[in-house]
Structure 1
């Protein structure tokens, strides 16, 4: 016997979805029945099922999978409550442009046994809502109801066609229980349903006039600047960015990154900022041409640097805004950049067009004295930036004589992690960092010194709790995508999180999943004793206010004085499988203690194939 649910699962497999991250409920009887039919007949299921005790972790895992593979995953949840429990992960998948297909069942619409699947549990009255997809509609690229089995293949393919076209993102399908329980003609199961005739929208190019205008302006510029955030989601765009930046000696500044956009070692990479006041590049104020390409937020107009000058382009600067799918940020209530030109174009295609025109203009390149002089200035800026990073990673030459020992700093922890990973000689393409360190976002992004596109990812959004589930999904996806030295999956995966983020990530679910599905990764917890970001937000408005004079616990943003033991949460959730340790800087040999603990954590993941959690105590907020 086959049902609409049988056809739905078969269609997912036919269109290339290998994994479904699921949280089952009363709306899924036919799905569970068909999965068992598959096991009886074939020994396994298609797609593979990843059981997720929490829905937000499920969607975060699916997003991590999509980020690691470039391919969509499926998420299956339970009626309205399961849809609501997807929580902030919906925001992250939307803002992070992650192609994920979400399916939720819905309460039956019959109650006297008129149809198979009719209401037979009290909760089915409680879970019947007027407009279930409205819960997530504004975050989805597409929502649709499955009304009959015959068009299931069309609905799935249309949803994926939209999800994988720029701006990529999540889609939501839903179906009433009677429809999904309906028995179908077996011939429907034999009809091929490939995506062959349902392609994603082809990457778009700049118009000839727009490409010409940008190229000429960059060639004629005295102080050009490129700003980007997530260009690195498209690896081909990274190569084109390198060509254009080198040909004209254009500095590259990265704001609010959720991807590796430029290798750390690139000679024109001059810094990263998450746009706290005083942290944008000083080149922005003096730039005469600014190319903003695939950037979430390039600058904050009201912010000022330490001298009181606004951190934004001057009024005479030419500003060009390019984005692969949503240059006007139509999903955001208020968004604006004073720009001379706004273009919807694929970053790789657009940069290739611009570079070709630059070459044709003749005067470009390091043979040009102005370009050569600019290159020298960039190297000075970059050298100063690198020296500043070395300085903050260092430990004091002599132990502290203060009554309270000095705490570890985030740069010191990043340096210890970098050293432990470097000692293993993994290939850059086999190493993945997941950055959800919040107030330490820029430290993690800069100090881990990643070199390859896809080497570090973020959620792309601002809902905390992505990294733990995403690590599970990314490890699974790495195997599917053939990442790593041997093409068997990532050699090493690290999630770098704050202590608040760790708790938001539902570690009880995430580490249970990690053990069940054998997805080892290291979690480094930057433990500053609470939520630092809300305190920083308060200080941004009330820098000298009453709250500026008290600690986090008094402000109710702290977790002390009796804080959770984060590493042991993971150990308990995994039934003792995970390894965990807390490390603090008290006493002599703080540097050595940190490096030894980090090396052991890496060893556990690599050699024993277990999760490890290293809880690193920072100065408390």
Structure 2
């Protein structure tokens, strides 16, 4: 017996979806039945099923999978409540431009047994809402109801065609139980349904005039600046980016990155920030030509630095905005960047066009811009700025010179530098085949800076702002690493590691995430930067009331703290995995006699890396920082 659900699963397999992250409910009888039919007949299922005890973890895992593979994953949830339980992960896949296909069943529409699948449980009345896809429609690229098996393959392919076209993102399909339970002829499963003639939209190029205008502006610039946040989602883009920047001595600044856009060691890379006051690059105020490339937000107009000066471009700066899918940010309510030109164009294509236009001008005018005194002087200045940045990082990572000196608490630079060294020494490739997931929130820029990542595609964030992505994404990324044949021998990453805050760890539903990690053998390292609560809300308050009542008290008094009796985070993971995961807490104030804080920290992190890499188990390190 075959049903519409059989056809749905068959279509997912045909279009190349290898994994479905699922949370089952009363609307899925035919799906469960067909999966068992597949096991009986073939010994395995297509797609592979990853059971997820929590829906947000499921969607986060699917996002991690697609971030690594570049291919869509499926998520299956139940009716309105499962759709609602996807929670903030819906925001993340939207803002992170992750092509995920979400499917949810829906309550039956018949109640007298008229059709197979009619209402036979009380929840079928409770879960019947007027407009189920309205729960998340504004976050989706496409929503549609499955009304019949006849056009189901077309519907799935249309959804994926949209999901994989810029701006990429999630899509949502849903179907009533009677439709999904409907029996069909076996012949429908034998009809080919490939994506071959349903391609995603080809990358856009700049118009000839736009490329010429931008190239001319950059060629004549005295203080050019390139700002990007997520151009590196295409790991090939750095070739074009570095070709342009090296050609004219243009520095690169990265605000709020969602992915690694340039190797840390690139000499024209001058820093990363999170747009908090005082963290914008000082180059912005003097820049005369600014290329804003694949950025959600390049600057915040009202913010000021420590001198009281606005951190925004000068009035006569020439600003050019390029984005591959959504340059006007049409799905953001209020958004604007003062710009001379706004272009919808693929970053790699557009950068190549600009380089070509500059080189054409060189040959026409007989002047090679890269050899000019101004470009060479600017290049040396930017290289010096990069070196000074590195020196500041080195200083921040240092410990007291006395080996016996005690410190009140570890700092983020100390923890992250210890992690960096442990990854280099504890993995066969010296970290070259490691994937880092950064969801450290208030410590985002510090982690991006002090990890000093070099491998393009080797460090990612959610791309959104809803917390709880990293743990589930680590499971999905590990699975995706195998599918994408990452690492030596194409067997997957040597190490997957997540850096999170203590609040983020709890948002990630660790009980579900670490249970999944054990069940599906997806070991990953988790480093918790434990500052005793939610630092970001406190920082937000201080941004508005820097000298108010709240500025004088600790997080516990403000109700943003988790003390005085905080969870044992590492042991949550151990318990959730039935003792399989390894966990330790490291606190500079409780170091045993005879050890110094630096050695103690490095020993714990090195052992955690060893547990993951050599024993194939999850490891969690709870690193205690200064409390908020």
- Provide the TM-score with structure 2 as the length reference: 0.98
Q: Quick one: which of 434, 451, 455 aligns to 1:452? A: 455
Q: CA offsets per residue over residues 290-318 of structure 1, 9 Å max, x none?
A: 00000111000000111111101100000
1:464 paired residue number: 467
1:12 paired residue number: 12
2:408 paired residue number: 406
Is the 8 Å Cα contact of residues 400 and 406 (structure 1) preserved in structure 2? Answer: no
1:237 paired residue number: 237
Q: CA offsets per residue over residues 549-605 of structure 1, 9 Å max, x none?
A: 100000000000000000000000000000000001124500000000000000000
Q: Quick one: which of 529, 534, 539 aligns to 1:536? A: 539
Q: Quick one: which of 600, 613, 616 aligns to 2:623? A: 616
2:610 paired residue number: 603
**Aligned-pair CA distance for 1:453:** 1.9
Q: Is 1:377 aligned with 2:377?
A: no
- Mapping of 1:271-310 within 5 angstroms? 271-310=271-310
Is the 8 Å Cα contact of residues 219 and 369 (structure 2) preserved in structure 1? Answer: no
Gaps of 5+ in 1: none
Is the 8 Å Cα contact of residues 423 and 430 (structure 2) preserved in structure 1? Answer: no
**Aligned-pair CA distance for 1:75:** 0.0
Q: CA offsets per residue over residues 38-65 of structure 1, 9 Å max, x none?
A: 0000000000000000000000000000
SS in 2 for 1:366: helix
**Aligned-pair CA distance for 1:116:** 0.1
SS in 2 for 1:445: helix
Is the 8 Å Cα contact of residues 262 and 269 (structure 1) preserved in structure 2? Answer: yes
1:226 paired residue number: 226
2:514 paired residue number: 511
CA distance in structure 1 between the aligned counterparts of 2:182 and 2:442, rounded to whole angstroms: 51
**Aligned-pair CA distance for 1:366:** 3.3
CA distance in structure 2 between the aligned counterparts of 1:450 and 1:355, rounded to whole angstroms: 26
CA RMSD of aligned residues (A): 1.0
2:477 paired residue number: 474
**Aligned-pair CA distance for 1:108:** 0.1
Is the 8 Å Cα contact of residues 428 and 450 (structure 1) preserved in structure 2? Answer: no
SS in 2 for 1:419: helix
1:351 paired residue number: 351
CA distance in structure 2 between the aligned counterparts of 1:507 and 1:447, rounded to whole angstroms: 26
CA distance in structure 2 between the aligned counterparts of 1:80 and 1:515, rounded to whole angstroms: 29
**Aligned-pair CA distance for 1:158:** 0.3
Q: Is 1:210 aligned with 2:213?
A: no
SS in 1 for 2:253: strand
1:593 paired residue number: 600
Is the 8 Å Cα contact of residues 424 and 430 (structure 2) preserved in structure 1? Answer: no
Is the 8 Å Cα contact of residues 395 and 412 (structure 1) preserved in structure 2? Answer: yes
Q: Is 1:253 aligned with 2:257?
A: no
Q: CA offsets per residue over residues 108-127 of structure 1, 9 Å max, x none?
A: 00000000000000000000
1:419 paired residue number: 421
CA distance in structure 2 between the aligned counterparts of 1:129 and 1:427, rounded to whole angstroms: 53
1:263 paired residue number: 263
Distance 1:246 1:30, change over 3 A: same
CA distance in structure 1 between the aligned counterparts of 2:92 and 2:559, rounded to whole angstroms: 26
**Aligned-pair CA distance for 1:271:** 0.1
**Which one is further off, 133-142 or 238-247?**
238-247
SS in 1 for 2:104: strand
Q: CA offsets per residue over residues 427-478 of structure 1, 9 Å max, x none?
A: 6551100000001100111111111221101000000000000000000000
Distance 1:427 1:590, change over 3 A: closer
CA distance in structure 2 between the aligned counterparts of 1:428 and 1:508, rounded to whole angstroms: 28
2:435 paired residue number: 432
**Aligned-pair CA distance for 1:377:** 1.0
Q: Is 1:582 aligned with 2:595?
A: no
CA distance in structure 2 between the aligned counterparts of 1:308 and 1:235, rounded to whole angstroms: 38
1:367 paired residue number: 371
**Aligned-pair CA distance for 1:236:** 2.0
Q: CA offsets per residue over residues 385-433 of structure 1, 9 Å max, x none?
A: 111000000011237978xx41000000001001111113426551100
Is the 8 Å Cα contact of residues 219 and 364 (structure 1) preserved in structure 2? Answer: no
Is the 8 Å Cα contact of residues 427 and 485 (structure 1) preserved in structure 2? Answer: no
2:494 paired residue number: 491
CA distance in structure 2 between the aligned counterparts of 1:494 and 1:505, rounded to whole angstroms: 14
Distance 1:58 1:443, change over 3 A: same
Q: CA offsets per residue over residues 59-99 of structure 1, 9 Å max, x none?
A: 00000000010000000000000000000000000000000
CA distance in structure 2 between the aligned counterparts of 1:580 and 1:178, rounded to whole angstroms: 47
CA distance in structure 1 between the aligned counterparts of 2:188 and 2:443, rounded to whole angstroms: 53
CA distance in structure 2 between the aligned counterparts of 1:358 and 1:574, rounded to whole angstroms: 57
Equivalenced residue count is 619
**Which one is further off, 378-387 or 1-10?**
378-387
- Provide the TM-score with structure 1 as the length reference: 0.99
Is the 8 Å Cα contact of residues 248 and 364 (structure 1) preserved in structure 2? Answer: no
After the TM superposition, which parts of structure 1 deviate over 2 Å for at least 4 consecutive aligned residues? 363-366, 398-402, 424-429
Q: CA offsets per residue over residues 220-268 of structure 1, 9 Å max, x none?
A: 0000000000000011222110111111110000000010001101010
CA distance in structure 2 between the aligned counterparts of 1:309 and 1:544, rounded to whole angstroms: 20
CA distance in structure 2 between the aligned counterparts of 1:122 and 1:364, rounded to whole angstroms: 77
CA distance in structure 2 between the aligned counterparts of 1:257 and 1:428, rounded to whole angstroms: 20
Is the 8 Å Cα contact of residues 428 and 455 (structure 1) preserved in structure 2? Answer: no
1:547 paired residue number: 550
- Mapping of 1:27-106 within 5 angstroms? 27-106=27-106
